[in-house]
Structure 1
Amino acid sequence: MTIEVWLERRAEDMARLLGRLVAVDSENPPGRALGRCAEVLREEMDRLGLAPEIIPVADPAGGSADPCVVRGTAGDGDGLVYFHGHFDVVPAQDRAQFTPVRRDGRIIGRGTADMKGGIVSMLYGAAAAKALGLLGAGRIVLHLVCDEETGSVAGAGHLRAAGLIDPAALAMLTAEPSGGGIWNAARGAVSVRVDIQGREAHVGQAHRGVNAFQHMLHIARPVERYAAELAERHTGFPLNPADAPGSMLVVGGASGSGANFNVVPGAAYFTVDGRYNPEEDLEAELRRLTALIEGAAEEVGATVSVRTTQLQPSAGTGQDHPAAATLARVVGDVEGAPARFELCAGILETRWYAQLGIPAFGYGPGRLDVSHGPDEYVEEAAMRRCAAVYARYASAMLA
């Protein structure tokens, strides 16, 4: 029996599982229903013979519901390929998004593209490879984490810190919504929060106050100029035509100030969030960003503090790496068209594996342009094709 036939016979099971997963509102933040979603995954993995276990993890921020990692295995040989995914989703625009809709070959709902549909493909790809005896003297280890949307320190970070990622692994795949492309590289991330202190005063005696909002406006201007400069620094990695080639910086994605309209604002804050191309030195850019902020504050005598909230490296595996070439060949065979390599415009959990020297890639059935949106969906046929890619890739790497 071919992989495609095996998967086609289980098309309804795959659709049913995705519907169950979408119905669990595992929004992050705040980290809702994580344990409940993990239990749905455990049940299905147990049914598929993937030897699941649920590993509780710490929640650095607090407030998450039973944060955990679901780990499973197909095969028992020495060779190792990782399948990695996340079951948390971004907050919904409407609660109706947690009621999955199946229509015209698509399943619509929060997390279908990013990336519960990809998880379904990975589970069934691993199960197909095991059932059809394709794993040779190797095994697939599945890691499903709960906090990718909020930085992944608790989930993937725990796997790394606990020594649960074997540096000798042959490859890693994550089912992010790559839209048919292979993400062999991803940007790094630098995020900071800038807090400005002033002094409150009644509007009738505004001259007695120190306006933190006005100071914030002055401090943000050089950061905006820095953002424009970054946008002109173009990557050498191939990109999706819809993505900009420069590093991206958002100034003021979150901001605020003051206690009331008739009081001089005694405090203000704004955030800076950047996605840096792999060619950039993140530590050097963080130092420069901090110096710009502190220098502007000094110009107006402002009291400012800069807190780094995220510093995550970029990741990349060359197109000429044997693991990349094998994946391109498998994707081409399944899709019937040459595979294309692309830089992911954001950050990927491939970084946790790439830092250990493991070739790591993003490839999944969803589309980035619908992920996180109100009409998020995944094509059922794409889920099955990706499952076939996963099974074939594991077989090829473990042969």
Structure 2
Amino acid sequence: MANHAAQVGAWLDERAEEMALLLERLVAVGSENPPGLALGRCARVLREAMDRLGLSPEIIELVDPSGELEEPCVVRGTAGGGDRLVYFHGHFDVVPAQSRGQFTAVRRDGRIIGRGAADMKGGIVSMLYGAAAARDLGLLGDGRIVVHLVCDEETGSVVGAGHLRAAGLIDPAALAMVTAEPSGGAIWNAARGAVSVRIDIRGREAHVGQANLGVNAFQQMLHIARPVERYAAEMAGRHTGFPMSPGDARGSMIVVGGLSGGGSNFNVVPGSAFFTVDGRYNPEEDLEGELKRLTGLIEDAAREIGADVSIRTTQLQPSAGTERDHPAAVALARVAGDVQGAPARFEMCAGILETRWYAQLGIPAFGYGAGRLDVSHGPDEYVDEIAMRRCAAVYARYASDLLS
């Protein structure tokens, strides 16, 4: 194992400049989502890089029912040829930038700064080079790494990872899956589930001079939202048993009114109104049960005032978790600790992860990446170049540990 460590480190150090240049190219492709721009263009850059690394890439074209994503697709590649299998999974869409300058990567003080550097184009570079290193150095034994790169993680991942699941492209017999989310060197062995709903209220418009003839949908919305706010406070007090990063709230987090609106003019009784409820639920919670309870609260409040209300579930995604004493978790902690020079810590991610698509099939799944969550999505998002190579070493050695 010590010899493997030196071999992997040397292989990656020789390609440090290649890795940095690839990340710069990926940052330059503004694959913002929403609305889902330049996805095909980014996929083609990835295919070219994977082809150069000998990862046998293919682009799988997808159908987006909404029609909003531009050239939606999955990029899939392979290292090794054995039957035993480990998945490396990533996403190449990024959240919208604060300025266009973020799509020009800047290298400064050992960092690469730019949109997506941390979440998670830097992680993709680490995975590709980690997979290639493991293959070139003969570390995969009778196994293989399959790389999945999807296009819509930032908006729910139903089109990309959802297609992989629906099309049977995820093998339940896989030994493990790891995704390069910006965990800052921690191992995210669990993640929250998501429930999102939109509530529409229909009233009746009337001119302000005859307001008595109208039905004010805005006022009805305020009445309906109050029990939802109380529900959110209750859920925030129900704490998870999974360890979390310091500063992260331990209760399920629910935002009431993240989007809201209605009405047609300042001098007209609003005949319509809407608001959203978006929740991130701890793994201990029953999502189907909580969705039923939430909709029941809304319906009861509407009934009290005779409001005409419709409720639409816009997202229902399960939580995911792998016990830290699972052999795949123990192996990842051992390798990460050795590469980092300090014990790896397990944490639950405060949000949702694409690990869920694999965990639902019984595959132990983890988030582990070089980027930092506290800078992701921000105006100065960055990844450390050394951390990117260290992470690649973890990926290569983890695959070797499981497959050889």
TM range (shorter): over 0.9
Residue matched to 1:349: 354
TM-score, structure 1 as length reference: 0.99
What is residue 283 of structure 1 aligned with on the other side?
288
Aligned partner of 1:49 among 43, 51, 54: 54
Distance in 2 separating the partners of 1:291 and 1:359: 35
- C-alpha distance in structure 2 between counterparts of 1:169 and 1:91, whole Å: 34
Query: In structure 2, what is the equivalent of residue 4 of structure 1?
Result: 9
Deviations 1:130-188 (A, max 9, x none): 11111110000000000001110110010011110000000000000001100000000
Alignment of 1:153 onto 2:153: no
Structure 2: which amino acid aligns with 1:226?
A: Y
AA partner of residue 276 (structure 2): T
Q: Which amino acid aligns with 2:268?
A: V
The runs of at least 4 consecutive aligned structure 1 residues that moved more than 2 Å come to none
Alignment-derived partner of residue 260 in structure 2 = 255
Q: SS of the residue aligned with 1:2?
A: helix
Q: 2:237 aligns with which of 232, 241, 260?
A: 232
Structure 1 segment 86-125 matched on structure 2, within 5 A: 86-125=91-130
Q: Could you say which residue in structure 2 is the equivalent of 1:395?
A: 400
Match of residue 206 from structure 1: 211
CA distance in 2, matches of 1:266, 1:259: 8
Instruction: State the alpha-carbon separation in 1 of the partners of residues 354 and 100 from structure 2.
Output: 28
Residue 193 (1) aligns with residue 229 (2): no
Matches within 5 A, 1:316-355: 316-355=321-360
For 2:278 and 2:374, locate their aligned partners in 1 and report how far apart those are by CA, in whole Å.
20
- The one-character-per-residue Cα deviations of 1:23-69 (angstroms, maximum 9, x if unpaired) are 00001111100000000000000000000000001112212111000
Indicate the RMSD between aligned Cα atoms, in angstroms: 0.6
1: CA distance, partners of 2:378 / 2:301: 37
What is the CA distance between 1:286 and its match in structure 2?
Answer: 0.1
For 1:168, give the aligned amino acid. A
Structure 2: 5+ residue stretches without partners: 1-5
Separation in 2, partners of 1:374, 1:204: 48
**Equivalent residue, structure 2, for 1:378:** 383
Q: Please give the alpha-carbon distance, in whole angstroms, between the structure 2 residues aligned to 1:135 and 1:345.
A: 33
Stretch deviating more after TM superposition (60-69 or 181-190)? 60-69
The answer for the alignment partner of 2:177 in structure 1 is: 172
Provide the C-alpha distance between the structure 2 equivalents of 1:320 and 1:125, rounded to a whole number of angstroms.
25
**Matched residue SS, 1:73:** strand
Percent of residue pairs identical: 81
- Aligned-partner Cα distance in 2 for 1:267–1:176: 40
Residues of 1 paired with 2:73 and 2:283: CA distance?
Answer: 30
